[in-house]
Chain A
C-alpha cells in the first residue's frame, strides 16, 4: 500500500527536484512510485512511496530540497490536483480579474466575453478612461471577484 508524503523544495525548482529525485530513486532502487508537482503547490512536491525511509534515501544529495514535511497525506487530499479544471472553465462574464502577464500586468479588468474554444477572454480595464476591449489568454489572468454582472 503506497503512502503520500510532501517534500519541501525551493520555489520554482519543483520540476528539477522531481526529475532528480526520480533518477536517484531508480538508481537506488527505492520503492518510490510517483512524484507529483502541481502548478498550484509552489515549493512542494508530493511523493508516493512505500515508506518514509525510501524518500530519505532518494533525497540525499539532491539540490533544492529543504526537507520532508512530517506526517502523511491522504489520497483524497491530493485527488483534486489530478483532475484540475481548465482556467477558462472557472471564468465567467462579469467576473473581476487581475491580468498577471503581458503589457497590462497588474491591471484589474472586468470580463466581457469568454471564448472557450480559443482559451481566450475579452476584458475591459477598470481604471482606463476610455474602455477598450482587450483579448487575453485565460491562463494570463487571476480571478479577483466572482460577482457576475447584474447581481
Chain B
C-alpha cells in the first residue's frame, strides 16, 4: 500500500517537472501517456488539450453522466 502511494507521488512529480508528456485521446478525451487509449482503444492522441476532470466514481458522479464517461480516470474537457 505504501509502495503504491510512493509510485503515485513519483508520477505526480514527473508530471510536474514536465518529464512525462500527457496526451489526450481525440475520441474519448481520456488522458494517458501511452500510444493506445485504455478506454476506447484509439491511437489518435493530441498534445493540445485544455481543462481537466478526474472521475473517481463514474456511477455516482453527475459530471461523468453528463459527459458520458463510464470509466474512472483523468479526462480533458477540450481536445484540439
A residues with CB within 8 A of B = 2, 14-16, 18-20, 22-23, 25-27, 31-39, 48, 75, 79, 81-82, 84, 86, 119, 139
- Given A19-B74, A86-B78: 14 more A-B contacts, CB < 8 Å: A14-B52, A15-B15, A23-B8, A23-B12, A33-B56, A33-B62, A33-B64, A34-B53, A36-B52, A75-B62, A79-B66, A81-B77, A82-B66, A84-B77
A31 surroundings in chain B (CB, below 8 A): 57, 60
- Give chain B's interface secondary structure class: mixed
B54 at the interface (CB under 8 A from A): yes
Given contacts A18-B54, A22-B56, A26-B56, contact A36 B63 (CB under 8 A): yes
- Cβ-Cβ contact count across A and B, 8 Å cutoff: 83
- Alpha-carbon distance A93/B78, docked complex (angstroms): 23
For B56, what are the chain A residues with a Cβ–Cβ distance below 8 Å?
Answer: 22, 25-26, 32-35
B63 adjacent to A82 (CB under 8 Å):
yes
User: B80 near A38 (CB under 8 angstroms)?
Assistant: no
In the assembled complex, which residues on chain B have CB atoms less than 8 Å from the CB atom of A20? Answer: 12
Q: Which one of B15, B50, B62, B63 lies within 8 Å of A39 (CB-CB)?
A: B50
The 10 closest A-B pairs by CB, nearest first: A33-B61, A39-B50, A37-B52, A34-B61, A33-B57, A35-B54, A34-B63, A22-B54, A36-B53, A39-B51
Contacts of A26 in B (CB 8 A): 56
Residues of B within 8 A of A48 (CB): 61-63
In the assembled complex, the Cα of A35 lies from the Cα of B77 at a distance in Å of 12
Instruction: List residues of chain B with CB within 8 A of the CB of A82.
Output: 53, 63, 66-67, 77
CA distance A139 to B67 in the complex (A): 23
A39 to B24, CA, bound (A): 15
